[in-house]
A and B are shown apart, each in its own frame.
Chain A
Amino acid sequence: MKGTLLTGNAAAASAARLARVDYVPAYPITPQTEIIETIADWVREGTMDAKFVQLESEHSMMTAAGTASLTGARVFTATSSQGLLYAMEMLYNVSGWRAPMVLVNVSRGLAAPIVLEPDHNDVLAARDSGFVQLHSETCQEVADLVLLAYRVAEDRRVMLPALVNLDGFYLSFTRERVVLPEQKEVDKFLPAYDPPHPVRATKAVAKGSAVMEGFVYSYFRYNMHAAALRAKKAFSEAARDYRELFGRDYGPVEGYRLDDAEYVLVMSNSFTTLGRQAVNRMRERGVPAGLLKLRMVRPFPSEELAALLRGRKAAAVFDQNLSPGSGGILFPEVAASMYHVKGRPETLLPVVGGLGGKQLTSDEMTSIFEEMIAVRRGEKAPEPMFLMRSEELAKAKKAVALAEGEP
């Protein structure tokens, strides 16, 4: 078999190099640092032809990335967690400037309390920023989605920045087989960026000017929304070209054993692999289980999702994130996609789990299907599940007791 062993971080850096990016403004943060270290090494060695600059913060990094993109440079950068939040103000500016740069986010739970392992509160905080969002399950997907992200972002129908998400540790530091495409094939897939009215020293242009009036603001915001929606078509077309060149097939959503599935688990990112395993275990027990992976989170693939969920008995939405006082962030989006759909699953179960990278046993994953079945049969109310095992709670309580100095 072809390919090499690469971490998710190395896959992201490799894709940036294959995309022939011109400029990489950077700021390190665990678990993203390896991406920029790798790129810095390549630039220093001369094996990557890009300008690498370390900025003094993620806010400056994102400002540099967006403005450089407006000059017509192809820009890549990466961050994680607190870094993404620190850059947040600029995310909205960069998308408003319609600067098609690509940002990789390596998911990590947000402080406080401080944690280093992943959940998706960081990346979903950027949900409304106007960035196209693609989330990866494998290191192979990281590389492929970075390349696809440039095609979508730079598509004249879209012209929005894109974010590719990968989970810290479970992808960022995980090595697995990655088949990197050949440079000359990538060059066919991703020609040089041709910017519309770029900022040049020789020609004045103002981007993102103050408009003051709400109706002008609405005009631009509605247009951003329309552009984001068009990203779905742009993605599908780019994915078709990608499949033809490289043989790997990507849609905005991906079904797993869905054909005759009656119970469907909806989830995203690296723990989807655990979801697939749970589907297989349930199938072995004779339960028609299936999985629906969200690869594209913005634009939200409502129609694709509804088409694949209609007619099922029950679905559960696994949110590896928590909006305190509401619950999982993606659950209401999935529910809204189904609301007017005839034959929508009667049961829609919210599940929160894996916060701060909390490990999930295979029994924990199959318990989601068991809960769906029990709710569907009317044996239980469709109350949200918050996954936590008894031995985990015991260990957490022990740690808390130690911290508080109890004997």
Chain B
Amino acid sequence: MMLRVRFHGRGGQGAKTASRILGDAAFNDGFNDQDFPIYGAERRGAPVAAFTRFSDGDITERGFIFSPDIVGVMDDSLIEDPLANPFAGLRKGGCAVVNTTKPSGTLLPDRKDAKIITIDLTGMALKMLGKPILSSGIAAAVARVAGVSEGSFLKAVADELREVGLSEEMVKKNVEFAMAVYGELAPLTLRTEELPSKLELVPLAVVVSGEGMEDVTQTGNSAVRHTGNWRTYRPVIDYRRCTDCMICYAYCPESAMSVGEDGRVRIDYENCKGCMICLTECPLKAISQSGERGLQ
């Protein structure tokens, strides 16, 4: 029996560590494990995927998991992201564990054949860890659903987080966080079946029928790629205190601030990634942070 798990998160949320914790935990339970991440250029906030396969026999697969039994979605903004496409290929009878405050019925209305479990991991993490780091939480949710034993799992959390250099205090908090998540869910018996798919290979002559040496000639197109959904927190300007000193405007690394005709700074929330440099730099503390997606 092999179980294939695909985690989707954003750079910095802990998808890679989650895949390793789950892999460790299954390994501790005596399974063979294979885990790995894909994270491109390691940009914080950019979509990341990580994978865990575990099996009581040999694992004869490698690479991207196209047909997961379980997907762990660490950020519900990824659901709308065509590049992340977190539910793609989820097997019939499979399970999606989603970190969200949205009702489960709204997330994947077309897939009555799959089980959707929602849990507010960000809220729990902020409460218990003080940071929206979700590796141990999402790993706990998936491990529980997959039926990994508690002892193996908690050892895996501690081992992996020590390995990445967390302090003993943070390791302890993470173990508590993981236990809380683990306790909220119950194991599922998954009988899954791969979705039917049809391969359509494109002949080389079709691939190369265009110019094939296109350059980037369109200027200013980075604004087209909205990165506002990377935010955990949103900066908010209090215009009563703001003196238009423009320091935030100068420091914004994303050019997500502009100056309106009235001379006041505006934040482009479609592209602001929520780095909060503006908040840090504002000499008058006229910028505050507000949680996204129901966070406080």
Residues of chain A at the chain B interface (Cβ within 8 Å): 98, 159, 196-197, 203-207, 209-210, 212, 219-220, 222-227
Provide the residues of chain A in CB contact with B210, threshold 8 Å.
223
User: Known: A210-B41, A212-B40, A212-B41. Contact between A222 and B207, CB under 8 A?
Assistant: yes
Among B27-35, B134-142, B214-222, B229-237, the stretch in contact with A: B214-222
Indicate if the CB atoms of A204 and B219 lie closer than 8 Å: yes
A196 to B213, CA, bound (A): 10
Indicate if the CB atoms of B215 and A206 lie closer than 8 Å: yes
Closest A residue, CB atoms, query B43: A212
Cβ-neighbour of A226 out of B204, B216, B217, B219 (below 8 A): B204
Indicate if the CB atoms of A222 and B208 lie closer than 8 Å: yes
Indicate if the CB atoms of A205 and B215 lie closer than 8 Å: yes
What are the interface flags for B178-216 relative to A under an 8 Å C-beta threshold, 1 for contact and 0 otherwise? 000000000000000000000000001001101111011
Known A-B contacts: A196-B213, A224-B212. Give 20 more (CB < 8 A).
Answer: A204-B219, A205-B215, A206-B215, A206-B217, A207-B215, A210-B41, A212-B40, A212-B41, A219-B207, A222-B204, A222-B208, A222-B212, A223-B211, A223-B213, A225-B204, A225-B208, A226-B204, A226-B208, A227-B212, A227-B213
Provide the residues of chain A in CB contact with B213, threshold 8 Å.
98, 159, 196, 220, 223, 227
How far apart are A264's CB and chain B's nearest CB, in angstroms? 31
A-B contact pairs, 5 of them (CB 8 A): A196-B213, A207-B215, A219-B207, A219-B212, A226-B212
Provide the residues of chain A in CB contact with B217, threshold 8 Å.
197, 203-206
A10 to B204, CA, bound (A): 42
Closest B residue, CB atoms, query A70: B215
A226 to B209, CA, bound (A): 9
Provide the residues of chain B in CB contact with A204, threshold 8 Å.
217, 219
- Name the 10 nearest CB pairs between A and B, nearest first: A223-B212, A226-B208, A206-B216, A98-B213, A204-B219, A222-B207, A212-B40, A223-B208, A205-B217, A207-B215
How far apart are B83's CB and chain A's nearest CB, in angstroms? 8
A220 to B211, CA, bound (A): 10
Indicate if the CB atoms of B212 and A220 lie closer than 8 Å: yes
Instruction: Kindly state the interface size class of chain B when it binds its partner.
Output: 10 to 19
How far apart are B101's CB and chain A's nearest CB, in angstroms? 31
Indicate if the CB atoms of B208 and A209 lie closer than 8 Å: no
Indicate if the CB atoms of A205 and B208 lie closer than 8 Å: no
How far apart are B211's CB and chain A's nearest CB, in angstroms? 8
How far apart are A375's CB and chain B's nearest CB, in angstroms? 37
A159 to B214, CA, bound (A): 12
A203 to B210, CA, bound (A): 23
Provide the residues of chain A in CB contact with B208, threshold 8 Å.
222-223, 225-226
* Interfacial residues of chain B within 22-59, with CB under 8 A of chain A in the complex: 40-41
How far apart are A400's CB and chain B's nearest CB, in angstroms? 48
Cβ-neighbour of B216 out of A196, A209, A220 (below 8 A): A209
A225 to B204, CA, bound (A): 10
How far apart are B17's CB and chain A's nearest CB, in angstroms? 22
How far apart are B98's CB and chain A's nearest CB, in angstroms? 25
A204 to B218, CA, bound (A): 8
A327 to B212, CA, bound (A): 35
A9 to B15, CA, bound (A): 59
Provide the residues of chain B in CB contact with A219, threshold 8 Å.
207, 212
A314 to B65, CA, bound (A): 50
A225 to B207, CA, bound (A): 11
Most chain B CB within a 10 A radius of its CB, from A203, A223, A224: A223
Provide the residues of chain B in CB contact with A205, threshold 8 Å.
215-217
Provide the residues of chain B in CB contact with A210, threshold 8 Å.
41
How far apart are A234's CB and chain B's nearest CB, in angstroms? 15
Closest B residue, CB atoms, query A219: B207
Closest A residue, CB atoms, query B212: A223
Provide the residues of chain A in CB contact with B216, threshold 8 Å.
205-207, 209
A98 to B217, CA, bound (A): 15
Provide the residues of chain B in CB contact with A224, threshold 8 Å.
212
A298 to B112, CA, bound (A): 55
Provide the residues of chain A in CB contact with B212, threshold 8 Å.
219-220, 222-224, 226-227
